């Protein structure tokens, strides 16, 4: 068998075993010549290495004689046989001169270190240098002058080789000596020596190898042989080392083959890495509007593997050490530090990530798109809707219905109605969307919703809990259309407590879809034709008053909303809204939602329904202790800091002290929150006269998992909002001033501030404000959204 492999940019034809090699080069004519330069180089050894030059003309063109592939191979084999014979004779002759049965210990006799010797020494773990010995330095050390012109003291154990045959070497000639040695190095010569030494089972010293391949043990040839052996990781291994002397033995053929395989694999990997680095550099140099799309990086497996390693490195989520190693190699090859931020910046520079990529989305593995099978199942539900409660629905289409939400809301899952009874009391209806009409517990769509736990609302996008078409077209309430709902109706006493209530499956027809701003404007206008909206506001005031009498704590503060419609752009537009939760329309909606939650808790208690009853202890809150603080964000911030976390009980209502309610169940967002949907499953089953589908134990386990997922999403939403608030401030003029309220003092004059126009909390040193609640003016000194850094400076007029 004839095999071909590449060594030192030339082709070596090899038959095994034994193996002989020669080099092939192109010349202008088909002929065999002997390179004079190589002949001179090896003439002292008694044998030369011929260089075969071939010109392979295009078959059948012009007057040039054509050669078939077979004739070419025959010529090569003839030359190979002749060359092998000459080469073997030469090497065998050389071996007889150098390996004649000498014991290993005899070969390991060290030359004493003296002034004027040329030595090789380890400068550090990475560098080996050549130097001339100058003089002693103390009892053991020596001063040397190295190839870089540096004089230093070295220990004897640092010396790795003493070049033989040198006396009083001229230190100015070190560089020239090294250059000549490098020119003479040819690692392919080691293969020749390895073959013969392996057959004879002989070891070799650098000087013996020099005699074999160069025919000389002069200083230059000996040093070249030492370099070939000490740097070789393929054919030879160190058998023994004593002081500055080492003896090398040929590796077994199987080991060489394995090392060769690894070497070729490493070379292929390095080539692949360099090709990938070139792709990165090319993409990095392109203008932003011409960079390759993200999908182009994941088509080819070997490229996808590397880009995924970089992505995992950027978000500190490497699955194994291989990903870390690959990413580190890429960053090093790009001349960048091996840090997560370097990987992130590189991925942004090549266009794989947008400038404002949400890293938390990637780190937390938040699901965005729904699987195809879930979308298909959702479409089936829409095409063949089945309503198990159709005959039991109460027709409430005669009511004027207000749906009030933020202006960009996609999922509308609650609406309100009100009227005044003849006895003067107010009756309100809280209409809640009825997704349980479509989705049954344990179905494919239900399991996917449970896995998500909640819809995700980010400044850049909304990722609904249900497939978008099902959520928006089937489940959501729509203006002017007949919609299925679950309606909680309540008659209030004059003091705001519940007099009567009912829970029914219903049909409604929403009249108005209002934003908070438009609802507040209508309330301010006090129009007679919108008396129902005014009644809802009056009912909300009664409820707030009643809850406060029950010990409720008012935590209304500023709430920031941000919408970024074009997040993929390098400079996307940012729409920022700061809303006061004490606004009349927001108060109206929140009070009605709380009222609905109290009714569902009462209904569940009366019917022994396992539900996610929410409560919050209030025992550690003394509201009077905060009376000296200004009402609104300042007082709310102080109270929230000492509030205890909410609790859930599945079997019975528990008091919610902060809300001032004897019991509370979240029920009004079943399209957005899975726990609300679970409450719908339980309540609707009882309305039909059935047993709840979920036991208390099942519900408890599910609630625990869903709350974990909800906390993750809440953290994501908070960090995303913070990022875009800081990005918003970063873009504002440097001289712009902001109103800031002092929320508390952290240390000395360092205060926690609330930027009123932005709704952002940050810290700054203040000199003018002396009390909590005082207002100061600040300016933004630095804003780095990626690092979550905002630096404020007080403006002193």
Kindly write down the DSSP assignment for every residue of 744-780, as one continuous string: EEEETTEEEEEETTTTEEEEEE-SS--STT-EEEEEE
CA quadruple 26, 30, 34, 36: dihedral sign: negative
The residue extents of the domains of the chain are: 117-255, 268-353, 387-717, 732-794
Rounded distance, CA 703 to CA 698, Å?
A: 9
Which residues does 165 contact at the CB level (< 8 Å), separation at least 6? 217, 218, 219, 222
Element (H, E) at 304: helix 301-314
Looking at the chain, the whole-number percentage of residues with pLDDT higher than 70 is 86
Checking if the pLDDT of 85 tops 70, the result is no
Asked whether the predicted pLDDT for residue 476 surpasses 80, the reply is yes
- CA-CA distance, 284 to 346, in Å (whole number)? 8
Q: How confident is residue 539, by pLDDT bands cut at 50, 70 and 90?
A: very high
* pLDDT number for residue 26: 24
Q: Residue 84 pLDDT more than 50?
A: no
pLDDT of residue 505: 98
What pLDDT, on the 0 to 100 scale, is given for residue 621? Answer: 67
Q: Is the pLDDT of residue 404 over 60?
A: yes
How high is the mean pLDDT of the chain?
Answer: 86
DSSP 124-142: SSS-EEEEEEEEEETTTEE
pLDDT at 105: 58
Q: Is 424 exposed, middle or buried (CB count within 10 Å of its CB: 0-12, 13-18, 19+)?
A: exposed
| Per-residue model confidence (pLDDT) at position 643 | 80
Least confident of 93-102, 168-177, 509-518: 93-102
437-464 per-position pLDDT tens digit: 999 999 999 999 999 999 999 999 999 9
Average pLDDT, stretch 409-424? 92
pLDDT in tens, 216-242: 999 999 999 999 999 999 999 999 988
Tokens coding 409:
């809301």
pLDDT at position 410 is 72
Question: Which pLDDT score is estimated for 411?
Answer: 79
Tell me the per-residue pLDDT of 682-706, one tens digit each, with 9 for 90 and over. Answer: 999 999 999 999 999 999 999 999 9
Can you tell me the distance from the alpha carbon of 202 to that of 198, in angstroms, rounded to the nearest whole number?
7
Least confident of 6-10, 166-170, 554-558, 584-588: 6-10
Does the structure show a pLDDT above 90 at 24? Answer: no
* Cα–Cα distance measured from residue 720 to residue 715, given in angstroms and rounded to the nearest whole number: 9
Q: Output the six-digit token pair for 638.
A: 């102080």
Spatial contact of 363 and 314, defined as CB atoms under 8 Å apart: no
Is pLDDT larger for residue 734 or for residue 101? 734
φ/ψ of residue 420, rounded to 5: -105, 130
Q: Are 717 and 457 in contact (CB under 8 A)?
A: yes
Mean pLDDT score, 496-506: 98
Judged against a pLDDT cut of 70, whether residue 12 lies above it is answered with no
pLDDT confidence of 92, banded at 50, 70, 90? very low
Phi and psi torsions of 310, nearest 5°: -65, -40
- Cβ pair 539, 705 in contact under 8 A: no
Mean pLDDT of 367-373: 92
Q: How far apart are CA 666 and CA 494, in angstroms?
A: 25
Q: What are all long-range contacts of 762-771, with beta carbons under 8 Å and residues at least 24 apart?
A: 762/790, 762/792, 763/792, 764/740, 764/791, 764/792, 764/793, 764/794, 765/794, 766/742, 766/794, 767/794, 767/796, 768/794, 768/796, 769/742, 771/742
Contact 148, 158 (CB under 8 A): no
Question: Which tokens in the block code for residue 291?
Answer: 């960079």
Query: What's the count of helices (H) and strands (E) in the chain, helices before strands?
Result: 21, 30
CA 352 – CA 342 distance, rounded (Å): 14
**How much of the chain exceeds pLDDT 90, in percent?**
74
Residue 34 reports pLDDT greater than 80: no
Q: How far apart are CA 245 and CA 257, in angstroms?
A: 28
Q: Cα(763)–Cα(751) distance, rounded to whole angstroms? A: 5
Per-residue pLDDT, 50: 35
pLDDT at 637: 87
Q: Residue 325: which residues within 8 A CB-CB, separation 6 or more?
A: none
Question: Do the strands 512-515 and 402-405 form a parallel or antiparallel pair, or are they unpaired?
Answer: parallel
Q: What is the mean pLDDT of residues 25-41?
A: 32
- 227, containing H or E segment: helix 219-231
**How confident is residue 25, by pLDDT bands cut at 50, 70 and 90?**
very low
CATH architecture classification, 732-794: Beta Barrel (2.40)
Q: pLDDT tens-digit profile of 252-286?
A: 999 999 999 999 999 999 999 999 999 999 999 99
Q: For the chain, first and last CA: distance in Å?
A: 91
């Amino acid at each position: 068998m004839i095999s071909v492999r590449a060594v030192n940019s030339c082709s070596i034809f090899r038959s095994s075993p034994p193996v002989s090699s020669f080099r092939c080069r192109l010349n202008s004519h088909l002929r065999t010549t002997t390179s004079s330069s190589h002949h001179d180089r090896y003439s002292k050894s008694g044998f030369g290495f011929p260089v075969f030059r071939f010109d392979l003309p295009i078959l059948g063109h012009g007057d040039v004689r054509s050669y078939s592939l077979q004739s070419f191979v025959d010529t090569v084999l003839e030359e190979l046989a002749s060359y092998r014979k000459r080469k073997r004779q030469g090497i065998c002759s050389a071996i007889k001169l150098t390996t004649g049965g000498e014991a290993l210990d005899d070969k390991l006799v060290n030359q004493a270190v003296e002034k004027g010797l040329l030595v090789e020494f380890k400068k550090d773990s990475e560098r080996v240098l050549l130097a001339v010995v100058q003089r002693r330095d103390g009892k053991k050390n020596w001063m040397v002058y190295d190839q870089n012109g540096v004089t230093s003291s070295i220990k004897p154990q640092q010396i790795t080789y003493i070049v033989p045959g040198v006396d009083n070497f001229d230190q100015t000639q070190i560089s020239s000596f090294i250059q000549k040695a490098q020119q003479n190095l040819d690692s392919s010569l080691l293969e020749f020596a390895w073959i013969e030494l392996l057959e004879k089972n002989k070891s070799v010293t650098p000087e013996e190898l020099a005699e074999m391949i160069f025919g000389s043990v002069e200083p230059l040839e000996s040093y070249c042989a030492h370099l070939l052996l000490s740097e070789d990781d393929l054919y030879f291994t160190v058998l023994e080392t004593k002081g500055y002397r080492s003896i090398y033995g040929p590796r077994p053929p199987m080991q060489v083959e394995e090392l060769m395989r690894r070497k070729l694999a490493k070379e292929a990997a390095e080539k692949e890495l360099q090709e990938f680095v070139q792709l990165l550099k090319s993409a990095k140099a392109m203008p932003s509007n011409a960079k390759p799309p993200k999908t182009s990086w994941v088509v080819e497996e070997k490229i996808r593997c590397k880009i995924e390693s970089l992505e995992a490195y950027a978000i500190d989520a490497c699955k194994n050490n291989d990903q870390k190693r690959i990413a580190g190699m890429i960053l090093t090859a790009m001349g960048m530090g091996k840090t997560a931020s370097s990987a992130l910046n590189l991925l942004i520079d090549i266009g794989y990530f947008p400038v404002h990529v949400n890293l938390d989305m990637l780190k937390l593995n938040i699901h965005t798109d729904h699987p195809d099978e879930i979308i298909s199942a959702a479409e089936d539900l829409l095409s063949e809707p089945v309503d198990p409660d159709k005959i039991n629905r109460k027709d409430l289409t005669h009511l004027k219905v207000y749906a009030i939400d933020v202006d960009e809301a996609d999922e509308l899952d609650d609406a309100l109605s009100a009227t005044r009874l003849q006895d003067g009391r107010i009756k309100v209806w809280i209409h809640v969307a009825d997704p349980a009409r479509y989705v049954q517990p344990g179905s494919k769509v239900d399991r996917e919703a449970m896995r998500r736990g909640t819809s995700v609302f980010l400044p850049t996008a909304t990722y609904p809990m249900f497939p978008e078409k099902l959520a928006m077209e089937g489940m959501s309430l729509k203006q002017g259309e007949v919609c299925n709902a679950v309606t909680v109706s309540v008659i209030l006493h004059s003091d705001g407590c519940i007099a009567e209530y009912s829970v029914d499956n219903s049909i409604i027809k929403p009249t108005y879809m209002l934003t908070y701003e438009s609802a507040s404007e209508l309330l301010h206008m006090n129009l007679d034709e919108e008396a129902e909206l005014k009644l809802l506001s009056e009912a909300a005031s009664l409820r707030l008053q009643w809850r406060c009498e029950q010990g409720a704590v008012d935590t209304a503060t500023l709430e920031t909303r941000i919408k970024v419609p074009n997040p993929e752009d390098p400079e996307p537009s940012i729409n920022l809204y700061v809303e006061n939760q004490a606004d009349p329309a927001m108060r109206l909606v929140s009070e009605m939602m709380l009222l609905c939650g109290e009714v569902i808790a009462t209904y569940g208690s009366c019917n022994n329904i396992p539900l996610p009853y929410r409560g919050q202890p209030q025992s550690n809150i003394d509201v009077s202790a905060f009376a000296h603080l200004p009402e609104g964000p300042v007082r709310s911030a102080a109270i929230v800091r000492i509030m205890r976390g909410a609790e859930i009980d599945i079997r019975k209502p528990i008091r919610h002290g902060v809300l001032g309610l004897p019991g509370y169940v979240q029920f009004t967002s079943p399209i957005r929150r899975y726990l609300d949907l679970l409450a719908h499953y339980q309540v609707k089953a009882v309305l039909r006269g059935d047993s709840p589908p979920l036991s208390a134990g099942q519900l408890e386990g599910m609630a625990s998992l869903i709350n974990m997922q909800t906390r993750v999403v809440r953290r994501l939403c908070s960090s995303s909002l913070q990022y875009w608030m800081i990005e918003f401030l970063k873009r504002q003029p440097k001289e712009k001033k902001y109103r800031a309220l002092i929320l508390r003092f952290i240390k000395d004059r360092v205060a926690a501030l609330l930027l009123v126009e932005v709704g952002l909390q940050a810290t700054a040193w203040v000199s003018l404000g002396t009390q909590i609640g005082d207002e100061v003016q600040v300016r933004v000194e630095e804003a780095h959204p990626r690092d979550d850094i905002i630096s404020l400076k007080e403006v002193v007029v």
